Structure 1
Amino acid sequence: MNTPTARPAQADVDRIVAAALAEDAPWGDITSQTLIPEDATAMASIMAREAGIFCGEQVIEAAMRLSDPRITVDFRVRDSDAFDDGAVLAVIEGPARPLLTAERVALNLAQRLSGITAMTGQFVAAVEGTSARIVDTRKTTPGLRVLERHAVRCGGGFNHRFSLSDAVMAKDNHLAVLTRGGTVDLTEALRTAKAQLPHTVHFEVEVDRLDQIEPVLDAGVDTIMLDNFPLADLKAGVRLVAGRALVEASGNVRLDTVTAIARTGVDIISSGALTHSVRALDLGLDISLDIRRDLEPGGTP
């Protein structure tokens, strides 16, 4: 795929990886400290044990660097690159103890991110030829959202709002409270709320019935989400909106349903499955048999 995408801020990546390393070895790696000579060095390869799309450059590099800055990582694939079963994804070299300490954190994160990227790539391929964008949701792993959103982009998908602070998105529970259970006019309540916002803030409203579309559109919203609509109602909803707002489809979005959803003419298809139901890809780290003990520059293995 190899689609260029903005990377997460390095400070965010380092913070996440440092916390993971601290969790995994809070008082040191006693196995490596017991078994591995302090001056031993090693070369290792991160190998693909199944085909997929890669995402993990920053987390692998950070895990190794934060364990020991002398460790070097030579990536043979880049974020967004497809790879085959058996491919060498990266070659790592440096002091053996910290390399082994960082192994699991590097693999855990890269496996999950690559799984998200690979799944997103499948969804994107399934809607090819339509105008629909595949978009993630806030159903991310707590603490990992910045990484998982990057993984979605590496698979060719797009991001929804990052957090509750980024945009107004009124869902069914918000509307129930806003309209006092239906005793307050929906259009007027939404207009009043929207009037409080700066013009730069995006306003989206979720509906679950066709008869809610016109009252919501009359309030001047930017995006209308059709939640769990049958295909026939999705098509009817797109016709009703008629370009007056972006149309987002959500609910019941799976690989076996997404193509038909895209063909209804919606602009956006959001799927929590991209991040909450993903299977981590099977990646492994194999140490070379050439274990060395001289760390001095120019030393002889």
Structure 2
Amino acid sequence: MAIDDRAAQRSNVSLARRAHNIRRKAVQMGEVQGQGYVGQALGVADVLAVSFFHAIDFRAEDPEWEGRDRYLLSIGHYAIAFYAALMEAGILPEEELATYGMDDSRMPMSGMASYTPGMEMSGGSLGLGLGVAAGRALGLKRKGNPAFVFNLMSDGEMGEGSTWEAAMSAAHHRLDNLICIVDFNNQQADGPSTHMLSAEPVLDKWRAFGWFAQRVDGNDIDALVAAFDAARALDEPRPRVIICDTVMCKGVPFLERREMTHFVRVEPDEWQKALAALDEEAPQ
């Protein structure tokens, strides 16, 4: 399907509105548990909105459709964001939102492919996703399937040797059907990613490994659309990566200002305050 056809198919709601809805759902799920990786969900919502409603091919009614683009969530603790996107895309029913993280829920707190429609892999241990994505991309090419494989990973995963082994392998096999998305929010459990183990200069590293590399504001929807379009349209036999600089807790100013938001715990009344803050700036 051409990019223009894909966009036209889902143009009844703006991408900004999709991102807002994803943020709202993530906060509501955080309220169910009283805690969660909401900061990452708020930050990566724009990336997921552009991914699902502009960049990838899928069928909500048939998550196992063989022609779908595979979208892997390497960072299992981002599941709250991914579930919100799956609900917005119609793959998961919104009625299940209230079951997040509960026993027998299809939405465990860390993403698991065996539980959730639309979840392509069970992520969690950082550094696994790109290797799985490269294997999937190679398999699709050998089967003659033109689908793309997307891998959403965190900046912290660039500190794992397995990531660079996979990057080298993907370039060696000329996997032009592989697009890696790095959420660069510069925060890990123990502090800023750049203080833990700096990956800079990021673009130079990926390019040295043979990748087509772009770096964009991950909260700028127009910039994201252009980057995804360029990645899909590139007529060169090599994998592609998009480094997305995002703001933790984007859209909720009182959370954005907090020093540590890797795992968000707020006062009970602050969940509704967070929703109100999102709604104050709600796009059409």
What TM-score, normalized by structure 1, do the two folds share?
A: 0.28
Q: Which structure shows the bigger proportion of residues in helix conformation?
A: 2
TM-score between the two structures when normalised by the length of structure 2: 0.30
Larger radius of gyration between Structure 1 and Structure 2: 1
Structure holding more strand per residue: 1
